[in-house]
Structure 1
Amino acid sequence: MTKLKCIAIDDEPLALKLIARYVHQFPELQLVQTFEDALSGAEYLKQGTTDLLFIDINMPDITGIELVRSLEKKPIIIFITAYKNFAFEGFELEALDYLLKPIDARRFAKAVEKAIDYYKYKNVSPEGKHANSLYVYSEYRMVKINLDDIEYIESMQDYIKIHVRNAKTILTLMPLKKVLEKLPANKFQRIHRSFIVAVDKINSIHNRKVQLADAELPVSESYMDFVRKWMKFK
């Protein structure tokens, strides 16, 4: 695997030293540069290629939120802060994770492992694009969902609700059409303007109703071709 090029921006020198020490424990990462000055860090980000950015929220000249918002091409973002009250801004910018100061080594490792996994997910070849997982932004963090655990996906206007086996549902801001593009066509099928179903979770289809283990979903007339094909091979 290609090493992720990362930089860290924080106006506290001790925080930067700690981040550097933690980063060097991961052979998958290459710490290219650190910046105590946010404006210098912003300039570097606009000129070079960065895969992963560790950035403090509260800095004197420009906040980490403002800096990330100004970037045309955003790397994977892990925010670092002494406060918990920036969650909505992190959601808006789709930060992968956020770490609270003082940074705990185990929590840092968990965030980095997620970043490495997400980088692989984003950079697989087109042939392997639909691997075995899906990433969505929910509850102020990027969440990984195993495709085999999805039973069906429900549209709720601008949001979708992903119904996962043996777990709570996951709500994320995304249209149904967009999530369908991220899913392998041989495993997931749209059956209604409001529903996508995991094909292998279907128990039966009767009277234009798809029966799952814990749900019954309607089938629209425009998606009856799928029903006929499914019935043919059963």
Structure 2
Amino acid sequence: MISCIAIDDEPLALEVLKKYVQKIYFLELKGTFTDPDEALNFIRQEKPELIFLDIQMPDVSGIQLAGQIQQYNPAVIFTTAYSEYAVDGFNVDAVDYLVKPIEYERFLKAVYKAKEYLEFVQTRDIANASIFVKSDYQQVKVKLSDVLLIEALDDFIKIYLPEKTLITLMTLKAIQAKLPEKEFVRIHRSYIVPLSKLEVVSRAKVKVGDKEVPIGASYSDAFFALLNGKF
């Protein structure tokens, strides 16, 4: 799911956006705001991934607000009644620009552009990200993009990599806290899998490389909800 909010000084415009968001299965609306300051505080605390942002507002423009939230790296879709602001919108790296009155088909196109952008950013971040785990009395750097599977073995976990397997004294819960939650998913009390490495998925199991992993009954609903939202 992609968390999103909408900011607009017109309540009716927010109602339209709310109705549209509710039609899209991979969007989760976290709030709507007519007050930019209230929205800014929410963004700082909750860091929504996608923001629908009106450009013309009484106290602060959407362009100014977008500049204040760039550090949180959200995807921004501007909404406005004035098409002449489009250049300004794209100058602050907006994903898209919607002119009111917004038609649903045009809204949907913008949302899919945002989804592709966010997936690209996440893939790029994972490709460059790494963690350290203790193995054989030393700290070993593990690139997240290399991880094929993580398996629990009593008080230890086994991290499967393309060329080797690491065993470390750690719980699945502890390592899960270090991993991007939308890419590494616990599908069983004994397994965490990276979604990007899945080759075959059925109702009862998944295949990663040459290894088949069962899907636990208590993890199934959350796993398939995330899987459908990502792919």
Q: Deviations over 1:186-232 (max 9, x none)?
A: xxxxxxxxxxxxxxxxxxxxxxxxxxxxxxxxxxxxxxxxxxxxxxx
Give 5+ residue unaligned stretches, structure 1. Answer: 130-234
Q: CA deviation at 1:128?
A: 10
Q: Which residue of 2 aligns with 1:51?
A: 49
Task: Name the structure 2 match of 1:94.
Answer: 93
Displacement of 1:87 in angstroms is 2.5
Query: What does the per-residue CA deviation read over 1:56-77, in whole Å, with 9 as the maximum and x for residues that have no partner?
Result: 0011111111111112323000
Describe the SS at the equivalent of 1:58: coil
Partners of 1:80 and 1:46 in 2: CA distance: 21
Aligned to 2:169: none
Structure with the higher helix share, 1 or 2: 2
Q: Find the aligned partners of 1:47 and 1:76 in 2 and give their Cα distance.
A: 16
2:121 is the alignment partner of 1:109: no
- CA deviations 1:17-36 (Å, max 9, x no partner) are 11011001111110001001
- Secondary structure at 2:115's aligned position in 1? helix
| 1:40 matches 2:20 | no
| CA distance in 1 between partners of 2:30 and 2:68 (Å) | 21
Asked if structure 1 preserves the Cα contact closer than 8 Å seen for 2:78 and 2:96, the reply is yes
Q: 1:42-91, CA deviations, whole angstroms, 9 ceiling, x for partnerless residues?
A: 12112222100001001111111111111232300000000011223212
Distance, in Å, in 2 between the alignment partners of 1:39 and 1:28 is 27
How many residues are matched?
127
Paired letter, 2:43: L
Aligned-partner SS, 1:117: helix
Q: C-alpha distance in 2, partners of 1:122/1:36?
A: 29
> What per-residue deviation string (whole Å, max 9, x for no partner) do you get for residues 111-161 of structure 1?
0111112211111242998xxxxxxxxxxxxxxxxxxxxxxxxxxxxxxxx
CA shift at 1:108, angstroms? 0.2
Mapped partners of 2:37, 2:73: distance in 1 = 16
Partners of 1:10 and 1:91 in 2: how far apart?
18
TM-score, normalised with respect to structure 2: 0.52
CA distance in 2, matches of 1:46, 1:88: 26
- Specify the SS of the correspondent of 1:68: helix
SS of the equivalent of 1:87 reads helix
Q: 1:23 aligns with which of 21, 24, 28?
A: 21
Task: Write the letter of the residue equivalent to 1:39.
Answer: D
**Aligned residues: percent identity?**
42
Q: Secondary structure of the equivalent of 1:123?
A: helix
Q: Secondary structure at the match of 1:98?
A: strand
Please, which runs of 5 or more residues in structure 2 have no aligned partner?
Answer: 128-142, 146-231
Kept after mapping to 2: 8 A contact 1:39/1:61? no
Provide TM-score, normalisation by structure 1: 0.52
Structure 2 matches for 1:212-227, cutoff 5 A? none
TM-align CA RMSD: 1.7
CA deviation map 1:92-123 (0-9, x unaligned): 21000000000111100100111112211111
Structure 1 outlier segments of 4+, above 4 Å = none
| 1:11 and 2:9 matched | yes
Alignment of 1:55-74 (within 5 A): 55-71=53-69, 72-74=71-73
